């Protein structure tokens, strides 16, 4: 009886330690920097509130992960700003980072920032131009773990810019929050990922 119980417990332990069970979707969750990592980033020109990190866990490390930034104006998609893809990862857990540009709200200074996306070491920088007459801006991101389905975009973050004095920043963990965000804000930049099966 003891041997049988020990065998069952050890079997449960081994199966629960796998990063992703066969019947589960891939997942993405916010990644909190350690104090040491945060201290190192303090020595860079990157603003504290502007950097966002995620852990993506996939079933197959040979799958392709796409990261995209899309620009919406008054609720309608205007254009895709950036798109990067990577595949054949060393592990099933992938580190992803997103850094939106930082704009000063000075009408006399037309500052050009850059969008930055990094997927496990592969990165892209895309020049950005601030929309005209911006008074307020905000950035929001997912707060909890989300499932990532194949061939379906999963929105991770939104950057909102407006000429109004107030912003609407609903949570984007659920679809109604994303729709509300697009409906109630002038300029919205959505950062999303999409997982595609190995070809």
Please check whether residue 165 lies inside any domain of the structure.
Answer: yes
Please check whether residue 7 lies inside any domain of the structure.
Answer: no
Q: What is the dihedral of CA 180, 53, 100, 90, to 10 degrees?
A: -120
pLDDT of the residue at 63: 95
pLDDT of the residue at 22: 44
Please check whether residue 113 lies inside any domain of the structure.
Answer: yes
> CA angle 78-82-83, nearest 5°?
115
Report the number of distinct structural domains present in the chain: 1
Give the range of the structural domain holding residue 128, as residue numbers without chain letter. 24-196
Please check whether residue 15 lies inside any domain of the structure.
Answer: no
88-126 pLDDT tens trace: 999 999 999 999 987 655 555 555 678 999 999 899 989
pLDDT of the residue at 5: 37
53-92 pLDDT tens trace: 999 999 999 999 999 999 999 999 999 999 999 999 999 9
Please check whether residue 157 lies inside any domain of the structure.
Answer: yes
pLDDT of the residue at 21: 46
What confidence category does residue 6 fall into, taking pLDDT thresholds of 50, 70 and 90? very low
138-189 pLDDT tens trace: 899 999 999 999 999 999 999 998 888 888 888 899 888 999 999 999 999 9
Residue 20 scores a pLDDT above 60:
no
Residue 130 scores a pLDDT above 80:
no
List, in sequence order, every beta strand (DSSP E) within 100-144: 112-119, 122-129, 136-141
pLDDT of the residue at 163: 85
Residue 36 scores a pLDDT above 50:
yes
Phi, psi of 75 (to 5 degrees): 85, -5
pLDDT of the residue at 7: 42
> CA angle 80-58-188, nearest 5°?
25
Please check whether residue 50 lies inside any domain of the structure.
Answer: yes
Cα–Cα separations (whole angstroms), residue 58 to 20, 146, 148: 7, 12, 9
Per cent of the chain over pLDDT 70 is 79
What confidence category does residue 45 fall into, taking pLDDT thresholds of 50, 70 and 90? low
Please check whether residue 78 lies inside any domain of the structure.
Answer: yes
Q: Which residues of 96-113 are buried (b: 16+ CB within 10 A; e: fewer)?
A: bbbbbbbbeeeeeeeeeb
Please check whether residue 37 lies inside any domain of the structure.
Answer: yes
């Amino acid at each position: 009886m003891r041997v049988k119980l020990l065998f069952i417990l050890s079997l449960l332990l081994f199966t629960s330690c796998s990063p992703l069970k066969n019947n589960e979707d891939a997942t993405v969750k916010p990644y909190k920097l350690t104090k040491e990592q945060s201290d190192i980033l303090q020595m860079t020109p990157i603003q504290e509130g502007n950097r966002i990190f995620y852990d993506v866990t996939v079933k197959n490390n040979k799958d392709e992960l796409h990261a995209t930034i899309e620009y919406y104006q008054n609720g309608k998609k205007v254009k895709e700003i950036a798109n990067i893809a990577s595949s054949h990862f060393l592990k099933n857990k992938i580190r992803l980072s997103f850094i939106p540009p930082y704009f000063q709200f000075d009408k006399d200074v037309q500052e050009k920032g850059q969008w930055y996306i990094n997927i496990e070491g592969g990165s892209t920088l895309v020049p950005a131009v601030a929309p005209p007459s911006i008074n307020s801006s905000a950035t929001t991101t997912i707060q909890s773990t989300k499932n990532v389905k194949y061939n379906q975009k999963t929105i991770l973050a939104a950057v909102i810019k407006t000429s109004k004095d107030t912003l609407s920043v609903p949570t984007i963990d659920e679809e109604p929050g994303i729709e509300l965000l697009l409906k109630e804000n002038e300029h919205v930049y959505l950062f999303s990922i999409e997982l595609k099966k190995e070809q």
